[in-house]
């Protein structure tokens, strides 16, 4: 199981690292970060894998607010209302798979898998 996650992680890092400064400066990921964009009432990635202690940066590219949260045990968070063009970094410290939703738009859903 753990072994099988690594190709996913490599793919996710590849995508995040693939942003060029010319195309999207705002969405550029720092090392240890994965950027997830909220656009058209959806997440641009529905499953990401990060290492424990890493961050998922949520960027709102819609013209209205979102409110990302997780109630999965061990990974609970709630960033509160997130205005358009703002970003929120969420640090995941524990290994596990965490379901992330938006309080305003219940059909928005993604998972963050955290590996040691
Ligand atoms: Cu939303």
As beta bridge partners, residue 77 has 70
pLDDT value at residue 29: 73
Give the distance (Å) from ligand 1 centre to CA of residue 33.
Answer: 21
Give the distance (Å) from ligand 1 centre to CA of residue 76.
Answer: 17
- The helix/strand/coil state of 106 is coil
| DSSP codes joined into one string, 18-67 | T--TTT-STTPPPTTEEEEEE-SSSBS-SEEEEETT-EEEEEE-SSS-B-
| pTM metric for this prediction | 0.75
Ion ligand 1 nearby residues (CB, 5 A): 66, 102, 104-105
Give the distance (Å) from ligand 1 centre to CA of residue 1.
Answer: 31
17 φ/ψ angles, rounded to the nearest 5 degrees: -75, -10
* Tokens encoding 39: 């656009």
What's the DSSP call for residue 82? B
Domains and CATH numbers, the chain: 2-19+29-115 (2.60.40.420)
Give the distance (Å) from ligand 1 centre to CA of residue 67.
Answer: 6
Per-residue pLDDT of the chain (116 residues; tens, 9 = 90+): 444 444 444 444 444 444 333 334 456 677 789 999 999 999 999 999 999 999 999 999 999 999 999 999 999 999 999 999 999 999 999 999 999 999 999 999 999 999 99
Give the distance (Å) from ligand 1 centre to CA of residue 63.
Answer: 11
Give the distance (Å) from ligand 1 centre to CA of residue 4.
Answer: 31
pLDDT value at residue 83: 97
């Amino acid at each position: 199981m753990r072994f099988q996650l690594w190709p996913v992680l490599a793919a996710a890092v590849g995508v995040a690292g693939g942003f060029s400064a010319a195309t999207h400066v705002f969405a550029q990921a720092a090392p240890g970060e994965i950027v997830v964009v909220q656009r058209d009432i959806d997440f641009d990635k529905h499953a990401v894998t990060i290492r424990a202690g890493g961050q998922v940066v949520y960027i709102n590219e819609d013209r209205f607010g979102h409110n990302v949260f997780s109630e999965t045990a061990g990974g609970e968070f709630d960033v509160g209302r997130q205005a358009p063009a703002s970003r929120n970094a969420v640090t995941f410290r524990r290994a596990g798979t965490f379901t992330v939703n938006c309080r305003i738009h219940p059909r928005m859903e993604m998972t963050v898998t955290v590996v040691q």
